[in-house]
Amino acid sequence: MKTLYLHAGGSKTGSSALQVFFSQYARALEQHGFAYKNNSEVQHEYQITSGNGYALFELLVSTPDKYCINDVIMSYFGTNNCAIISSEYMQHIDSRQIHRLLSATYILGIKLEVIYFVRSVIPFVCSAYDQVIKRHGEWRSIDDWIPELGTLDHIEFLKRVSEVIPSANIHVFNYDSVNEHLVDTMLQVLGIGDNMKIDARHKQRRVNRSLMNHERNYLRDFNRRYGGQFSEEVSDRLIYSKPEYCSEIPYISDHSVGILTEKFQADITWVNQTFLGEIDGIYISSNQSAMREIHRDIMSANEIQQTDMDNLVLEWSIERIKALQKELDDVYRSRSFRITYPLRRIWKLIRRIMAFPRKIKIMTESSI
């Protein structure tokens, strides 16, 4: 029987690091019978990716044709009996779409295994806050942003998937407990943890890291000034320049902690009782995760200087201006522009001439 391993996230639990690993070790995985197909090529080891599952996600949410879905599912296997799909997009499918996926795999004779990581609320919220600063132009303080949180995607997906897929086929892990050996955890689920030879450095790789305080404050101010229009480009420049830097958790007020506790304590209890148990469970806060972050043997956040960020953003600005200038030069030299530009100027002149009598008439009538 074929087996499809669906790694659906959750968000801010090392998905990009796992996807870079899957991409770079795709050939080695195939030697052990696991296909990682339909993925875009990873250009460098810290590249932020969306995995290889978007094609299936798009069909599940937009196409009722079950045969089309079946064809896409089979394309992930190649000649192998096992396939890996990794995409955080998949955590957003609803119960009906999960049922369609399960039905399709059943018809094809494929066993569906879901792999999912969750984390305690405050570490997740801090990481998610940095993400909206980096990718969506957020500039408010975390205490102003927290009241807008309605649900946690991690828990809502688990609620939906547990209604459709048997619990024996759902593998849930506390990211705060396993983030030091994330790759090993994944390989153990696949059943090949003792067989693959992997560079130890690749097991510890952190992709799409969160922010240091200096970076966070800088990006918030930048987003406030420019409306968040360039947040993704600027944050990528900062992160890719120093991917090994240690992130710093933003301060959250007691009032905000109270809001999070009131909103999500019941959900936390449900996740622990259903999947994790009290020993490996998630909580509102995670002191274990915070201590591990403090003692991580990587470059100190204090080493970054304001001038470093200024220089990086200045370089980005110059590159963007040069790219825009080249684009405009290409347009000016193009044949279509040389033909249509004079015509557009003539048409604008004709419209002005046609509008002139109307302006005179309006001015005359108003004076009367």
Mean pLDDT, range 134-152, rounded to an integer:
92
Of residues 172 and 344, more confidently modeled: 172
Of residues 325 and 353, more confidently modeled: 325
- What average pLDDT does the structure give for the chain? 82
Task: Count how many domains the chain has.
Answer: 2
Tell me what percent of the residues of the chain surpass a pLDDT of 90: 48
Domain boundary, last residue among 247, 281, 315: 281
Mean pLDDT, range 250-275, rounded to an integer:
94
pLDDT for position 191: 92
- Does position 359 have pLDDT exceeding 60, yes or no? no
Question: Quick check: is 193 in a domain?
Answer: yes
Write the pLDDT tens digit of every residue in 22-46. 998 999 999 999 999 987 665 555 5
Question: Quick check: is 141 in a domain?
Answer: no
Question: Quick check: is 194 in a domain?
Answer: yes
Q: Looking at the structure, do residues 346 and 204 belong to the same domain, yes or no?
A: no
- Does position 306 have pLDDT exceeding 90, yes or no? no
- Does position 264 have pLDDT exceeding 60, yes or no? yes
Q: Looking at the structure, do residues 203 and 343 belong to the same domain, yes or no?
A: no
Q: Looking at the structure, do residues 275 and 354 belong to the same domain, yes or no?
A: no
Question: Quick check: is 219 in a domain?
Answer: no
Q: What confidence category does residue 354 fall into, taking pLDDT thresholds of 50, 70 and 90?
A: low
Tell me what percent of the residues of the chain surpass a pLDDT of 70: 78
pLDDT for position 302: 45
SS3 of the chain: CEEEEEECCCCCCCHHHHHHHHHHCHHHHHHCCEECCCCCCCCCCCCCCCCCCHHHHHHHHHCCCHHHHHHHHHHCCCCCCEEEEECHHHHHCCHHHHHHHHHHHHHCCEEEEEEEEECCHHHHHHHHHHHHHHHHCCCCCHHHHHHHCCCCHHHHHHHHHHHHCCHHHEEEEEHHHHHHHHHHHHHHHHCCCCCCCCCHHHHCCCCCCCCCHHHHHHHHHHHHHHCCCCHHHHHHHHHHHCCCCCCCCCCCCHHHHHHHHHHHHHHHHHHHHHHHCCCCCCCCCCHHHHHHHHCCCCCCHHHCCHHHHHHHHHHHHHHHHHHHHHHHHHHHHCHHHHHHHHHHHHHHHHHHHHHHHHHHHHHHHHHC
Q: What confidence category does residue 357 fall into, taking pLDDT thresholds of 50, 70 and 90?
A: low
Residue 37 lies in domain: 2-119+147-209+264-281
Q: Looking at the structure, do residues 104 and 29 belong to the same domain, yes or no?
A: yes
- Does position 4 have pLDDT exceeding 90, yes or no? yes
Q: Looking at the structure, do residues 36 and 182 belong to the same domain, yes or no?
A: yes
The enclosing domain of 191 has a CATH number of 3.40.50
Domain boundary, last residue among 217, 250, 281: 281
Question: Quick check: is 87 in a domain?
Answer: yes
Write the pLDDT tens digit of every residue in 218-247. 899 989 988 888 888 888 888 887 777 778
pLDDT for position 41: 64
pTM of the full structure: 0.77
Question: Quick check: is 51 in a domain?
Answer: yes
Question: Quick check: is 174 in a domain?
Answer: yes
Question: Quick check: is 200 in a domain?
Answer: yes
- Does position 157 have pLDDT exceeding 90, yes or no? yes
